[in-house]
Structure 1
Amino acid sequence: MSTAVRTEVSGEIGKRSLGQRLIGANTFWIALVLLALIAVFTVLAPNEFATVFTFQTLLIETSVLLVLSVGMTFVIITSGIDLSVGSVLIFAGMVCGKTMEALSGGNASTAGWGVITVGLVAALLAGTAWGLINGFLIAVAKIPPLIVTLGSMGAALGAAYLLNGGSDVRSVPATLNRTLGYGTSFGGVPNLVLVAAVITLIGAWLLHTTRFGRYTYAVGSNAEAARRAGIGVTAHLLKVYLLTGFLAGVAGFLSLAYYASTTITAHTNDNLNAIAATVMGGTSLFGGVGSVLGTVIGVFIPAVLKKGFNITHVQDFWQMIAVGAVLVAAVWFDQRRRRARNSR
């Protein structure tokens, strides 16, 4: 972007009041949707929904998905997609579980922090390896992200099944489950939530305040223009998919800590849930637009719907319909905004 263009854009933004900029932001409207849902369920079931226990449970249940969705935010902002994160999570959890089993002689339930640390490193390496594969095929081999990650989705899941003969690893250190899975600190805040919050804050800092984040937006807005401006688009895309794989490895470790099992069947739809949460949070499927704050809100919308419907005894099928409607509405709103911007 030239200096003249930047000056003109900055001038236009400066002329808009804070209220105008707030109302024009996707995050503002998505936040209103979330607040409206919370208000409705609070009115319908004040003694059950509006409780500390309910909100604590919501935070715990969304922690793993939030970590996945932070990585997905970077990918979608670059105008890419990653269908493999759920399978990579499962694979990383399986590698972690099998590593801890091997180091503890087949009974990891009594293992200490030394074994747990090695298991964590194994999970991170496993997730990052899949990220490297995806990034190389997409950025270097120039294969469309949809095809690459669709293939790695099946491959990672199949590899996870092969590692333990198609069954879950259920021998997990009790220390890990007790400390990270269900442990609390800082006034009763679950440790799992704290870890997810720290990762989310780091992701927000990386996206919104660093050169890496600026390059992510630039590549998603116009990859060719970014390349001509001196940005190494190939190297940057490789880093983005590496980051997504790394976070999927973190999520696999957190899931193992919480469930004390690899719970393969519980994560088969996590890839779609992460994409839906990211898009509902205002990140554009066309690239160049998005925020971590929006993704956080997008993660909580389906979680609040599910919890609210369960408390008010509404069938789960309605939750699926409601989430689908919100997702379609978010994409429609994004398309309208793009058309309005292009027509100026």
Structure 2
Amino acid sequence: MTTTNTAAATTTSPAPKPTTPPAGADGGPNVFRRVLGIQAFQIVLVLVVIFLVFTALAPTAFPQWTNLRQVIQNMSILGVLGIGMTFVIVTSGIDLSVGSVLVFSGVVSADAMIWVGGDGWLTALVGLVVAVASGLAWGTVNGLLIAKAKVPPLIVTLGSLGAALGLAEVMTGGVDITKIPQVLSDNIGYGNLVGTTLPLISVIAIVFLVVFGVILHRTKFGLYTFAVGSNEEAARRVGVKVDRQLISVYALSGGLAGFAGLLSLSQFGTTAIAGQSQTNLNVIAAVVIGGTSLFGGLGTIFGTAVGLCIPAILQNGFVIVGVQPFWQQVAVGVVLVAAVYIDQRRRASAARGGGSPRKVSLAGLLQRQKS
């Protein structure tokens, strides 16, 4: 008798090859390199260097809180304008009219508060509503012409720049209005947050920056804004109402310019018609220096806030150390050109590598719409 021992056949799969973690996943040097490559972080480094230089040159004056408080206060109005400009430039647009809309809204608001009469909060509330409504009106007109009439943003907002400023001068005869409710100057313009020495106008600007930062980076409105700036036609194909989005973004920019008009009245106690000639260019420079791309699709509110600090600190520091403040314009111009150059190099590098991962994913947008 023959016994056959049959061994059970067993199949064994080859042992998996050890996987190599992505470069930098363990906190290695590649992570540090990527962080250094973020433009907002680079601007922070530039800001820190500028601050340290002026601190070394004027250690008894520049780093003092009284001086820094003034710098922060001077940035507040530009900060509010910079929010709207960030949204606009992310769509690959431009808004040259914010300074003139600020002036026009301030004039209309001041006239409304004079008509109502009084120095209390009710009068100030009327002024606030009128200022924001005036800015919204200008922004909506800009958006309609850009989205519906297909007039280039540069031309539309350049026309609004002249029209808004001209109407403000017609309404006032070219003479500034100086009758402003005292409650605005005492509390908003030069008041402090309760229990601190932090300017209330700056607290308001910081709150706006935080709120609209969340809106830009954590809501569908912000996602659609990025989508329009990344690829307008592709955004249409995934269901984004591009025209409505553009109108909303320019209306937002105008409304914030109107609010900034009331803040300007509070801080300066006058409409300051002739004092805003460089405001639009200063805001655009700050937004671009902060990393928002003029080609659209990229940008952060944090970067804008940092970008605003550089010209403000340069101007203040030059005055303290005895350098002509006109050099501030030269320095800001150099930084601005450098920021745009770096952005172009990054785009060229991303194109060679198959696209930029930082741009909004339209496939992801479609998935979020369905969810």
Structure 1 match to 2:180: 172
The equivalences for 1:121-270 within 5 A come to 121-186=129-194, 187-270=196-279
**Structure 2 unpaired stretches of 5+:** 1-21, 354-371
Secondary structure of the equivalent of 1:320?
Answer: helix
Q: Report the CA distance between 1:21 and its aligned residue.
A: 3.4
Secondary structure of the equivalent of 2:240?
Answer: coil
Q: Determine the C-alpha separation between the residues in 2 that align with 1:337 and 1:169.
A: 47
| Identity within the alignment, % | 50
What per-residue deviation string (whole Å, max 9, x for no partner) do you get for residues 288-328 of structure 1?
A: 01100000011010011001100000012211111110111
What per-residue deviation string (whole Å, max 9, x for no partner) do you get for residues 250-285 of structure 1?
A: 100000011010011111111111100000101000
Structure 1 match to 2:329: 320
What per-residue deviation string (whole Å, max 9, x for no partner) do you get for residues 167-224 of structure 1?
A: 1110001111001111112412111011111111111011011011111111101100
What per-residue deviation string (whole Å, max 9, x for no partner) do you get for residues 96-154 of structure 1?
A: 100011111xxxxx521111111110000000000010000001111100000000000
Structure 1 match to 2:342: 333
Query: Does 1:99 find its partner at 2:99?
Result: no
Letter in 2 for 1:238: I
Query: Does 1:73 find its partner at 2:86?
Result: yes
Structure 1 match to 2:281: 272
Contact 2:179 2:269 in 1 (8 A): yes
Secondary structure of the equivalent of 1:230?
Answer: coil
Cα distance, 1:15–1:275 mapped onto 2, change above 3 Å:
farther
With the length of structure 1 as denominator, give the TM-score of the two structures: 0.93
Q: Determine the C-alpha separation between the residues in 2 that align with 1:185 and 1:12.
A: 47
Cα distance, 1:272–1:15 mapped onto 2, change above 3 Å:
farther
- For the pair shown, the structure with the greater C-alpha radius of gyration is 2
Counting matched residue pairs gives: 329
RMSD (CA atoms): 1.5
Secondary structure of the equivalent of 2:158?
Answer: helix
Structure 2 match to 1:47: 60
**Structure 1 unpaired stretches of 5+:** 1-10, 105-109
Cα distance, 1:89–1:210 mapped onto 2, change above 3 Å:
same
Equivalent in 56, 59, 67 of residue 69 of structure 2: 56
Equivalent in 296, 311, 314 of residue 305 of structure 1: 314
Letter in 1 for 2:294: L
Q: Determine the C-alpha separation between the residues in 1 that align with 2:137 and 2:25.
A: 44
Letter in 1 for 2:45: L
